[in-house]
Amino acid sequence: MNSSSHQSFTELEVWKKARILKNEIFELVKAFPNEEKYLLADQLIRSSRSVNSNLTEGHGRFTFKDQIHFCVQARGSLSETYNHLIDAFDCAYVNKEQLKDLKTKIDEIERLLNGYISFLRKIYNKMSISPGNHSTSQPVNFSTNQPINQSTSHLISYTLHLADNALILGHRNSEWTAHGPILEQDIAISNIALDLIGQSRYFYQYAAELINQYNKTASFSSPSGGGREGVSEDDLAYLRDVLEFINCLLVEQPNGDWAQTILRQFFFSAYQFFLYQQLQNCTDERLSAISEKSLKETTYHLRWSGDWVIRLGNGTEESHERMLKAIDELWMFTGELFENAPYEEAAFQNGFGVNVKELEALWKEKVTTVFEEATLPVPQTASFQKGGKTGLHSEHLGFILAEMQFLQRAYPNSKW
């Protein structure tokens, strides 16, 4: 049940503060030049209103998981608002004092929002481990009349996690196709995208087989309203919604510039390399075989991205600065890689998974070695963003899925 059903969303302190900010920005943009009416002014109005809108929609949702998701969306809109205000300052539409005052208000809203998200997560996690609560212990959400046994459910979730990681990063990398800095590297990043999508397909195929084998009544409803028996690899990739994806937050982060794309690939490839090294020795024959094959590709991904980290870190002053900025943007998402989600812990305990906590030291050693050669500092601050492994994502994943899933949802069951 919704924890906040006893009060209106208008009573939320964070909503009240966001409303004040929204109204202040609405008055502020009236002084912008006419040519910005449908550009920066409109963007500021939309992003500031989006904070309240997401808080309101989340408050009206029935589950804590949905509430958290929309609060995260609100936090993204808040960051977007501040970015637009910086643009306004750069264009001399607002002065330094105005920007500082608005930044203070935004920081206060963010503090309240983070506290609210933390509160909701504590309740959600408490409910997830409550005795007899089965709905949250099985993150795979399919239409069924027959529950899958717990061990198989964990195997399916673990396999989907591996698939989701590879698919989302593969899609992100594919956005560079025809936009790479030089032709050779355009081809390289496109091939890495294909490798990752290929890996995801192997994992999705296995997950679909498990679902169909152990749950004879499993099915997906198509966007047009029709249904069919069985679940396919395409269903798992194209017909699940944001909250059903359980990839880590790192892989869904925006490409940014070439430095950020390279660093994201390096961080994930270093993790994936050590993961597959151990997973190829697991008790599940299919996961072992997929890992053994994928390890060869991942070895190349790690070498390629590592060489680029060194190249950019030791390159020009600008390339070095861009790498420093990329570290600031991405380091916060690396800690989640080494925290076991419930299905990962169960996978490890049952022999078909890896204890990712044991990979952290190996990963840090590899990152430190490459960073030292690249003359880049290894951050000493603890990374703190997590939630993707349990379906709590940044605002970016929704945009990825909207683009990636459009064709299947617009034209259900179409064939080439």
| Residue 177 and residue 237 in one domain | yes
Mean pLDDT of 162-191: 93
Dist CA 20 CA 24 (whole Å): 6
Specify whether the CB–CB gap between 344 and 292 falls below 8 A: no
Report the CATH number at residue 185: 1.20.1260.10
Domain containing 116 equals 9-128
**Which tops the pLDDT comparison, 217 or 141?**
217
Burial of 85 (0-12, 13-18, 19+ CB in 10 A): buried
Number of domains in the chain: 2
| Residue 225 and residue 84 in one domain | no
Assess if residue 142 is contained within a domain: no
Specify whether the CB–CB gap between 166 and 200 falls below 8 A: yes
96-105, 208-217, 240-249, 270-279: which range is least confident on average? Answer: 208-217
| Residue 117 and residue 197 in one domain | no
Does the structure show a pLDDT above 70 at 401?
A: yes
Specify whether the CB–CB gap between 77 and 51 falls below 8 A: yes
Specify whether the CB–CB gap between 284 and 290 falls below 8 A: no
How confident is residue 406, by pLDDT bands cut at 50, 70 and 90?
A: confident
DSSP letter assigned to residue 147: P
| Residue 230 and residue 301 in one domain | yes
Give residue-wise pLDDT tens across range 123-159: 666 554 433 333 333 444 443 434 455 678 889 999 9
Please state the length of the chain: 416
pLDDT on residue 124: 65
How confident is residue 229, by pLDDT bands cut at 50, 70 and 90?
A: low
| Rg over CA atoms, the chain | 23
Assess if residue 415 is contained within a domain: no
Give residue-wise pLDDT tens across range 52-61: 998 988 887 6
Amino acid present at 367: V
Does the structure show a pLDDT above 70 at 415?
A: no
Assess if residue 252 is contained within a domain: yes
Give residue-wise pLDDT tens across range 68-91: 888 998 999 999 999 999 999 999
Share of the chain residues as helix, strand and coil, in percent rounded to the nearest 5: 70, 0, 30
| Residue 120 and residue 158 in one domain | no
How confident is residue 296, by pLDDT bands cut at 50, 70 and 90?
A: very high
| Residue 322 and residue 365 in one domain | yes
| Residue 91 and residue 170 in one domain | no
Dist CA 367 CA 372 (whole Å): 8
Phi-psi domain of 385 (left: phi exceeds 0; alpha: psi -120 through 50; beta: other): beta
Mean pLDDT of 385-409: 87
218: helix, strand or coil? coil
| Residue 161 and residue 100 in one domain | no
Pair of tokens at residue 277: 């090294």
Does the structure show a pLDDT above 70 at 364?
A: yes
pTM above 0.85, yes or no: no
- Going 237 to 71 to 173 to 409, the CA torsion angle's sign is positive
State the Cα angle at 142 between 134 and 283, rounded to 5°.
75
| Residue 124 and residue 169 in one domain | no
Average pLDDT, the chain: 86
Give residue-wise pLDDT tens across range 322-356: 999 999 999 999 999 999 999 999 999 999 999 99
Pair of tokens at residue 68: 């958290």
Mean pLDDT of 307-311: 96
Does the structure show a pLDDT above 70 at 244?
A: yes
Dist CA 17 CA 12 (whole Å): 9
Residue 204 CB coordination number (10 Å) = 24
DSSP letter assigned to residue 392: -
Report the CATH number at residue 32: 1.20.1440.60
**Which tops the pLDDT comparison, 222 or 55?**
55
pLDDT on residue 274: 97
